[in-house]
Amino acid sequence: MQLLEGLIRHYDWGSVDALPDFLGRPATGEPWAELWLGAHPSGPSAVGASGQTLDALIAADPDRALGADVVARFGGLPFLVKVLAAGAPLSLQAHPSKTDAETGFDRENEAGIPLDHPGRSFRDRNHKPELICALTEFEALCGFREPRATLAILETIDTPALTQVRTSIENDPNRVGLDTVIRHLLRLGKEDGAAVADEVVAACRADGPDLGRSERSMAVALGERYPGDVGVVTALLLNLVTLAPGEALFLGAGNLHMYLHGMGVEIMANSDNVLRGGLTSKHVDVDALLSVVDATPIEARIQRPPLIDGAATYDVPVAEFSLRRIEVDGEIGVGTGPAILLCTSGAVHAGAHVLDRGAAAWVSAEECSVTLSGLGTVFHAGVGALDG
């Protein structure tokens, strides 16, 4: 087992103080958005005191680091762990399926767009299913709300700017109607889109019934941060959820979502493919987003797994990763690698190391067992089931 030093990402939506406090470091006045723990080529973690990166360590002896089965299935470490600290909303976004990612990546390569170009949408050939587990109260938008529930909320927003949206959903209160609406909204010209957005935000500021109050407040906040962005209207079509610490959401390919505020542990397939439709200062690619979005209405499924023998296991329907939250109180075994351990509270002994809040460690496949002891919370990120 070796300690990991993650990479900090300073995106403009990050919190100024949440991640520095989590890591026990002084704040710098700039936003700290994400801590990356993994072997992604654009931001690999450093291993131990040597400064060797995790991707280099794995490449030197893949079978020893990952195990032959994982190497045969994925070729490398198939997951990436992040600690995400949203001080402001992230972009309105979705992630591609593996097939869509391969197609988009090859298309942009053929067009000669450099991998690090800010206008690039597909940065690798992998899909990016992900799971977010809250460390603090965490607000998010996740998938399309049931259309009749959305209509009830839109009726509380008194403006003719929503007439076409309401009519489309009333005529087709299903995936077809929602798909029609978002394609109309996101393809509006800049001036027309700004006019709709500004009128809707102004109407949301007005007093109204309790129904939809949280959604209207959310729209006002988004409109103030991104004035004239019609994505604020699309946001009103999505499920607004609040996760308590320990609760989680899984987001598969095509799920239109947006993280609004809070801190959480995020695990995903090893990819950096994000397709944005608005409400961001980053590159927006509406056509790419609409090519992958699934407008099927869903009820956002909040996971609250029970503790069984000290561990809560989250439901992850993909092979690339698994996630367990381990409440250490005494001594507990956590199995084999390859895995990344992340301590989020307390102080926990792991092999020769003590993990306190913010500390992480790499467990290779050759380590047949790992025992944790002490008092604290540790997330165990590993590979999912390889059968099937």
Query: With contact defined as beta carbons under 8 Å apart, do 253 and 104 qualify?
Result: no
DSSP state of 6: P
Q: What are phi and psi of 19, to 5 degrees?
A: -70, -45
Triad 207, 209, 211: Cα angle to 5°:
130
In sequence order, the 6+-apart residues with CB closer than 8 A to the CB of 108 are 120, 121, 122
Tell me, yes or no, if 213 is annotated catalytic: no
Among candidate residues 370, 321, 387, 374, the one with its CA nearest the CA of residue 347: 374
Dihedral sign from CA coordinates of 194, 197, 203, 204: negative
- Amino acid occupying residue 134: A
Marked catalytic residue, from 276, 304, 325, 357: 276
Triad 265, 249, 320: Cα angle to 5°:
70
CA dist., res. 20 & res. 31, Å (int): 10
User: In the structure encoding, which two tokens stand for residue 297, read together?
Assistant: 């209405």
Among candidate residues 128, 50, 69, the one with its CA nearest the CA of residue 96: 128
- DSSP labels for 216-236? HHHHHHHHHHSTT-THHHHHT
Q: What are phi and psi of 355, to 5 degrees?
A: -100, 115
- Cross-strand partners of 380: 324, 341
CA dist., res. 169 & res. 287, Å (int): 22
CA atoms within 13 Å, Cβ hemisphere of 87: 17
Q: Which long-range contacts (CB under 8 A, 24 or more apart) does 221-228 make?
A: 221/89, 222/89, 222/279, 223/197, 223/198, 225/88, 225/89, 225/279, 226/278, 226/279, 226/280, 227/194, 227/197, 227/198, 227/201, 228/190, 228/193, 228/194, 228/197, 228/198
Q: What residues act catalytically?
A: 276
